[in-house]
């Protein structure tokens, strides 16, 4: 019998019309979107399904992504009856994993990421921070180059050959040059609104901690994998501190997947817009059994499970 993990994408995978068929064709999906509208005071269907300039702004993106992935997950569970053994999410996606694991209610996950997005958006003035993707270079080699620099760090260990760095804009640009000289194939500046998962966002993490103080956290019904440690979390006592740290800490996604693989997980179901995590999975373990759910019709793929 398969050991299944639900995995959830992070910010950057959003697009107009994401989840629209789940909203229009399923009662459960519609309920999730409508509840989000009620909680946040603006129309979530309008944000997600109609062309606008807000969907790519962090303070809106995060709530839209989490609402969409949770709606898809709840429909999947109801229609297919599939239950995961473990869950994980990339950066923002960790909040979907928390909802899936019963650590947070769906409502609290949506409300919390709305505040998280605002705090991250406001943390650093535009233009001061930056992020870059470093391609075709070993993580250990990148760590070595960055070890002698201040103001820049690894933000994401996505998969072999793809590491993201983050920090002060000038330091990121300087690091790019050093990494290219040291053997990186490419260093690509990313179109993002802030230096996410860098020490520049430590203050935002502290403010998020105050938001989390008011959130009811429960012991996980099933384990989830923390971005910060790449280890299973099975007790509520550490959840809030890890979420505070997550804002300014490296996302250890590759290591998180390796933890699940070591535990015997053999089937990964990516739930949410895009196929980012499925792409990473093929580079972490080429023969992994991966499904992607972003359209209602994708549920039919799971009939083999």
Active site residues: 91, 197
Which residues sit opposite 129 in a β-bridge? 168
Phi and psi at residue 15, in whole multiples of 5°? -155, 155
DSSP string, 28-49: HHHHHHHHHHHHHTS-HHHHHH
How many other CB atoms are there within 10 angstroms of residue 176's CB atom? Answer: 21
- Contact between 19 and 64 (Cβ < 8 Å): no
DSSP string, 68-118: HHHHHHHHHHHHH----SEEEESGGGHHHHHHHTTSS-HHHHHHHHHHHHH
Place of tokens 């993201």: 164
CA angle 8, 10, 11 (to 5 degrees): 150
Angle formed by the axes of helices 276-284 and 253-262, nearest 10°: 60
Which candidate, 297, 288, 296, places its Cα nearest to that of 269?
Answer: 288
- Contact between 116 and 25 (Cβ < 8 Å): no
Structure tokens of 30?
Answer: 């519609």
Helix (H) or strand (E) holding 152, with range, is strand 152-159
Place of tokens 């962090």: 58
Place of tokens 């429960």: 218
d(CA 28, CA 76): 10
């Amino acid at each position: 019998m398969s050991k299944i993990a639900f995995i959830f994408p992070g910010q950057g995978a959003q697009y107009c019309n994401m989840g629209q068929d789940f909203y229009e064709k399923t009662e459960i999906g519609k309920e999730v979107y409508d509840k989000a509208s009620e909680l946040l005071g603006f129309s979530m269907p309008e944000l997600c399904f109609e062309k606008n300039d807000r969907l790519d702004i962090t303070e809106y993106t995060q709530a839209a992504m989490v609402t969409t992935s949770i709606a898809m997950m709840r429909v999947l569970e109801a229609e297919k009856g599939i239950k995961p053994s473990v869950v994980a999410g990339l950066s923002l996606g960790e909040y979907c994993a928390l909802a899936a694991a019963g650590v947070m209610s769906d409502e609290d996950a949506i409300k919390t990421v709305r505040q998280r997005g605002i705090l991250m958006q406001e943390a650093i003035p535009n233009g001061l921070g930056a992020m870059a993707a470093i391609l075709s270079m070993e993580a250990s080699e990148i760590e070595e180059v960055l070890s002698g620099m201040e103001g820049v760090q690894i933000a994401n260990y996505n998969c072999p050959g793809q590491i993201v760095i983050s920090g002060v804009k000038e330091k990121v640009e300087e690091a790019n040059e050093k990494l290219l000289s040291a053997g990186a194939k490419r260093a690509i500046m990313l179109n993002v609104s802030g230096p996410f998962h860098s020490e520049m966002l430590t203050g935002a993490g502290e403010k998020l901690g105050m938001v989390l103080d008011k959130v009811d956290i429960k012991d996980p019904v099933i384990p989830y994998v923390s971005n910060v440690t790449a280890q299973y979390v099975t007790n509520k006592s550490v959840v809030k501190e890890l979420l505070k740290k997550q804002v300014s800490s490296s996302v250890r996604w590759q290591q998180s997947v390796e933890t699940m693989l070591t535990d015997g997980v053999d089937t990964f179901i990516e739930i949410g817009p895009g196929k980012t995590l499925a792409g990473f999975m093929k580079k972490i373990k080429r023969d992994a059994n991966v499904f992607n759910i972003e359209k209602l019709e994708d549920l039919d793929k799971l009939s083999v499970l």
